[in-house]
Structure 1
Amino acid sequence: MFLLLSYIFFCVHRTGLFTPDMAFEAIVKKQIVKLKGPCLKSVDLVMQELINTVKKCTKKLATYPRLCEETERIVAGYIREREEKTKDQVLLLIDIQVSYINTNHEDFIGFAKNVYKDYRFLELACDSQEEVDSWKASLLRAGVYPDKSSTENDENGQADNFSMDPQLERQVETIRNLVDSYMSIINKCIRDLIPKTIMHLMINNVKEFINAELLAHLYSSEDQNTLMEESAEQAQRRDEMLRMYQALKEALAIIGDISTSTVSTPAPPPVDDSWLQHARRSPPPSPSAQRRPTLNNPPTRPLSGRGPAPAIPSPGPQSGAPPVPFRPGPLPPFPSGGEALGGPPQVPSRPTRAPPSVPSRRPPPSPTRPTVIRPLDSSMLD
């Protein structure tokens, strides 16, 4: 950049005390022309994104393949037409910026702020060496370099003298600052205008075309019957859905007939098993305590001709058969004389284990009345 500015400045250099503006304009125009490539690239990217969006939207028309293809063809063709017009407008904006370099822009630093006089020598008067060094450092930072001796110029050659000329370097630095200031203005303007141009000439215009003119183009392109032809997959899917609908309809009719002809009976009430739970919680009492009381004197058969009847053996601990457990029933009458049998018998609860088997016992012989033979009455004989 420095060499380019140096050669341009050397070619357009004219007499005068100010920096020539021709070098500034030549550099600025070349930099502006380089913006055409990025601007056109942005238009291409927007166009490609629009086409991708159209393809995504037309996928919803996959049921009608011909309609989908025709819609995509019409919209894509219109987008390409708007692309050409947008590119022409972008190039026109770049040419407008190149046609005139506005150095009076409010954001431009301007030549008036960069005017300097072509003094060859400066005289300094300082009291100490430190002040001299400080002034030299400040002048070097400002672009003022000390003059070289003739011996150094002879050794370095004419090319080095041209490249290290303090005046040329100062002017090149000035041109660089001016170019940077003006190009920042151009970049700001281009970044603002190019998106607006693309939005107006491409995106908004395509939206209006789809809303207002796409339907008319579809009607005028082909026969509407051919556009609305379904694909083979969609027709097969529709037939399957119709068959499924008929099958479900018949199934519902059969279920309805069964529901109306079936007679149902109410379920029986639940069984009350609270007593079983109570028996599980409380252990059963001993069977010996619930044994039915026995009489001291069991009834005997009256005397007859056959002899005395055998007495009923009383159960004892040496008896082979176990006692019969008492089952709940009506309470026996209490014996006379106020003697109680120890209170009413307790009702045993059913144990969880299997009940013991009841051994068979032959019942005792019941006592019989003596037979009395009476003589027949004579009246009865008559």
Structure 2
Amino acid sequence: MHLQFLLTFCDMSIATFCGSLTNTERCVIVSQGISDEPIHLKIFSPHVVNLTLVDLPGITKVPVGDQPKDIELQIRELILKYISNPNCIILAVTAANTDMATSEALKVAREVDPDGRRTLAVVTKLDLMDAGTDAMDVLMGRVIPVKLGLIGVVNRSQLDINNKKCVADSIRDEHAFLQKKYPSLANRNGTKYLARTLNRLLMHHIRDCLPELKTRINVLAAQYQSLLSSYGEPVEDMSSTLLQLITKFATEYCNTIEGTAKYIETAELCGGARICYIFHETFGRTLESVDPLGGLTTIDVLTAIRNATGPRPALFVPEVSFELLVKRQVKRLEEPSLRCVELVHEEMQRIIQHCSNYSTQELLRFPKLHDAIVEVVTSLLRKRLPVTNEMVHNLVAIELAYINTKHPDFADACGLMNNNIEEQRRNRMRELPSAVPRDKSLKGPGGQLVSPTEQPPAEGDGPKVCGMAGGAQGEQEGGSGTWRGMLKKGDEGQGEDKTKPQSSVLASPQKGYAVNLLDVPVPVARKLSAREQRDCEVIECLIKSYFLIVRKNIQDSVPKAVMHFLVNHVKDSLQSELVGQLYKPALLDDLLTESEDMAQRRNEAADMLKALQKASHVIAEIRETHLW
């Protein structure tokens, strides 16, 4: 940052700076013409005011000698580079013996300062004007109005310089000339008045811009201080630095899971909050979306019941069929449970990157240490994943190992179901014809006993046995959809069974050949009897009731298992694992190797911070001065 304000000249006629010509020749290549590298010239005297001047070259229109053809463009860009600074005051110098309307200096100044708030015009060579003319209108501001004013001066001629005329004599002669030619304006023109005006403008300009400068310097100093802190100090004690970085990373990792991290994400869930979302939203909703009877048809239930009865018809619904089917449904909870473990593992892997980017900026200094930490944490998570999966698998296996039909919730559900069945039985009794006696037992055709819950068989139907076994035995002994009925049809040569689809028609065997019972298809597409429908509904109701109990247990136990075997275990053993794997003397030099450009950026930031602190100190020393 430049702390001085520039008073810019657009003329090369000021003799004070002519001595810098040799310096210019040393800095500028002959074929190049000009250079934007500044030449610093300091003049000390007890008789001059404090000013900072930047002498810019006059605009050349036509290349001379070995000057490049674009010399005008080069000079114009050089001038604009300096006068475009809003903190500089432009001193536009124009000769009095030329037309002010054609002044190139005023034209360039107006491009960057259209309001003229920081432009001061100087008219030179008042003594060289043609006879009978004067610069009264110009000095009064009637030709070209400039807000900061317009001051006329008389400089030494080249003959005066050659004759070594002193500056004091030149100022005395200038004052005499102004008193003679412009007596009314003599006190507001001249070199001395110009120096005092420039000093006053500079002080006012500094005072107006000082508060903003202080603010900018303080802001930049704070930014570079923060940047330097992020780069860290040069490593002196490697063991202490390595242990500190490992401890800080482990702490930030655990804090991110606990929700107490310094840097909290606002755009998305992260860390422990995301794990909680996985447990109670993702995993919970997935389990709730699992249908207790999904993938299980009524035919499957009926088939399981028949297979569980064996060769003998059962009086009651076999319990083995319920256990077989409910295990099949509970097994479906294992896949979403393992998926929950996978999602939590992925989130804990993401926490590593989160801590590296937002919490531990020091790790960016040591890329090898960062990679090593990521590898150790990833390896630890990878080792805990099979253990957690095994535990979740065991939770499902535990539920499958013992079907607890004495569970209180299941017993209540069974009681409610029995009440519903009893209510249905009573409703069926009310719907019996009035001719049928409502007694504990009824006599059907042939004098056999029929349960009140069963309708007596109609005429033409096969014989049926009373009780719950009657339905099963009747299905095998009579009716067109039973084994014996199909075999009888085969013997009689009937072509099809009206109770099953056309595709399942049994071809009649040829006479003289035995019937292969394994070739007889089991009728699956037929209307279920009342007994079969009731048995299937009982099993389905029991399966749904027990499945909901197991699902509730899994929904509660899986998150606990994941927290214990994966999340908490990693939190508790992370720091010891990092120290054990990385805190080794043989690895110190390699792990704490900085990136190539880190040291350079640290030095640049430190130098800039020193410069800003020095500038702030200089500004703080500026006292309020009364300005006239």
Is TM more than 0.5 here?
Answer: yes
Output the CA distance in 1 between the equivalents of 2:414 and 2:383: 45
Distance 1:50 1:249, change over 3 A: closer
* Equivalent position of 1:155 in the other structure: 498
Read off the aligned partner of 1:247 and give its amino acid letter.
Answer: A
| 8 Å Cα contact 1:82-1:202 kept in structure 2 | yes
| 8 Å Cα contact 1:28-1:179 kept in structure 2 | yes
* Equivalent position of 2:599 in the other structure: 235
3-state SS of paired residue (2:409): coil
Output the CA distance in 2 between the equivalents of 1:37 and 1:233: 49
| 8 Å Cα contact 1:32-1:98 kept in structure 2 | yes
Distance 1:194 1:254, change over 3 A: closer
Read off the aligned partner of 2:570 and give its amino acid letter.
Answer: V
The equivalent position to 1:168 in structure 2, one of 532, 537, 555, is 532
Distance 1:149 1:205, change over 3 A: farther
Let me know the Cα RMSD of the aligned residues: 3.5
Aligned residues between the structures:
247
Read off the aligned partner of 1:199 and give its amino acid letter.
Answer: M
Distance 1:174 1:146, change over 3 A: farther
Deviation track 1:100-123 (CA, whole Å, cap 9, x = no partner) reads: 110000011466654979x9x969
| 8 Å Cα contact 1:65-1:230 kept in structure 2 | yes
Verify: 1:124 aligned to 2:436, yes or no.
no
Output the CA distance in 2 between the equivalents of 1:111 and 1:77: 49
Read off the aligned partner of 2:391 and give its amino acid letter.
Answer: Q
Give the percent of matched residue pairs that are identical in Structure 1 and Structure 2.
Answer: 30
Deviation track 1:322-379 (CA, whole Å, cap 9, x = no partner) reads: xxxxxxxxxxxxxxxxxxxxxxxxxxxxxxxxxxxxxxxxxxxxxxxxxxxxxxxxxx
Read off the aligned partner of 2:409 and give its amino acid letter.
Answer: D
* Equivalent position of 1:96 in the other structure: 398
Verify: 1:39 aligned to 2:337, yes or no.
yes
Distance 1:169 1:251, change over 3 A: closer
How far is the alpha carbon of 1:163 from its aligned partner?
Answer: 3.8
3-state SS of paired residue (1:104): coil
3-state SS of paired residue (1:232): coil
Output the CA distance in 1 between the equivalents of 2:460 and 2:587: 93
Verify: 1:201 aligned to 2:568, yes or no.
no
Output the CA distance in 1 between the equivalents of 2:455 and 2:389: 49
* Equivalent position of 1:7 in the other structure: 303
Distance 1:58 1:149, change over 3 A: farther
Unaligned runs of 5+ in 2: 1-296, 436-452, 462-478, 481-496, 501-521
| 8 Å Cα contact 1:67-1:227 kept in structure 2 | yes
Report the more deviating stretch, 90-99 or 213-222.
213-222
Read off the aligned partner of 1:29 and give its amino acid letter.
Answer: K
3-state SS of paired residue (2:304): helix
Output the CA distance in 1 between the equivalents of 2:318 and 2:349: 50
| 8 Å Cα contact 1:12-1:23 kept in structure 2 | yes
Deviation track 1:229-286 (CA, whole Å, cap 9, x = no partner) reads: 2222422320211221343456567668x959xx96x557xxxxxxxxxxxxxxxxxx
Read off the aligned partner of 1:155 and give its amino acid letter.
Answer: K
The equivalent position to 1:180 in structure 2, one of 522, 532, 544, is 544
Output the CA distance in 2 between the equivalents of 1:241 and 1:227: 24
Distance 1:233 1:178, change over 3 A: same
Read off the aligned partner of 2:571 and give its amino acid letter.
Answer: K
TM-score (norm. length: structure 2): 0.35
| 8 Å Cα contact 2:499-2:526 kept in structure 1 | no
3-state SS of paired residue (2:584): helix
| 8 Å Cα contact 1:114-1:174 kept in structure 2 | no
Output the CA distance in 2 between the equivalents of 1:177 and 1:252: 83
Greater gyration radius: 1
Verify: 1:85 aligned to 2:387, yes or no.
yes
* Equivalent position of 1:290 in the other structure: none
How far is the alpha carbon of 1:226 from its aligned partner?
Answer: 2.0
Read off the aligned partner of 1:240 and give its amino acid letter.
Answer: E
Matches within 5 A, 1:312-323: none
Verify: 1:52 aligned to 2:357, yes or no.
no
Read off the aligned partner of 1:43 and give its amino acid letter.
Answer: V
* Equivalent position of 1:70 in the other structure: 372
| 8 Å Cα contact 2:352-2:374 kept in structure 1 | yes
How far is the alpha carbon of 1:221 from its aligned partner?
Answer: 8.4
Choose between structure 1 and 2 for higher RCO, CA contacts under 8 A separated by at least 6 residues: 1
Distance 1:147 1:237, change over 3 A: farther
Distance 1:253 1:165, change over 3 A: closer
Distance 1:156 1:230, change over 3 A: same
How far is the alpha carbon of 1:147 from its aligned partner?
Answer: 6.1
| 8 Å Cα contact 1:58-1:71 kept in structure 2 | no
* Equivalent position of 1:28 in the other structure: 326
Read off the aligned partner of 1:9 and give its amino acid letter.
Answer: I
How far is the alpha carbon of 1:171 from its aligned partner?
Answer: 0.3
Deviation track 1:162-205 (CA, whole Å, cap 9, x = no partner) reads: 64221111100100000000000010000000000001111111
Deviation track 1:43-70 (CA, whole Å, cap 9, x = no partner) reads: 1111011001112112332221111111
TM-score (norm. length: structure 1): 0.56
| 8 Å Cα contact 1:145-1:166 kept in structure 2 | no
* Equivalent position of 1:106 in the other structure: 408
How far is the alpha carbon of 1:155 from its aligned partner?
Answer: 3.5
3-state SS of paired residue (1:102): coil
Output the CA distance in 2 between the equivalents of 1:69 and 1:188: 42
Read off the aligned partner of 1:56 and give its amino acid letter.
Answer: H
Output the CA distance in 2 between the equivalents of 1:18 and 1:102: 20
Distance 1:101 1:166, change over 3 A: same
